[in-house]
Amino acid sequence: MSHATLSTLVNAQLQMPLRALALTVEEDGPGEFRWRVLERRGQAPVFEALACSDITFAAYDTALASGYGELQRLVGPDLQYGPRLEPDFSGNGVPRSGLSAPAPQRPGAAA
């Protein structure tokens, strides 16, 4: 692929807005940390879980690093430019493929 073609593809991709993703660490109990990747849908300030750890970690920083690794995996090759929305037929943005898997929920957790 030529540099000009690659540049055109990158510029087209950058025209779409970034997806609003967040990584958070929660403490289930003393010394029991769990990461969660969240995404804001639309303009409402409400985030939906995309993925969460199914194990707990004894340290906050370990949970954070593990969650960041999962976020990198979810974003995949788009990491350099950030995960972008793709246009749908209505003209609104929709998530790019690869990040729409439902998040596992821990028992008793509210969605």
pLDDT in tens, 43-66: 778 899 999 999 999 999 999 999
49 and 16 Cβ atoms separated by less than 8 Å: no
| Euclidean distance between CA atoms 81 and 10, whole angstroms | 8
pTM for the complete prediction? 0.67
Residue 64 DSSP one-character state: H
pLDDT in tens, 69-106: 999 998 888 788 888 877 654 555 555 544 544 444 44
Helix (H) or strand (E) holding 8: helix 3-14
- Rg of the chain in Å (alpha carbons): 16
Backbone angles phi, psi at 23, to 5 degrees: -115, 130
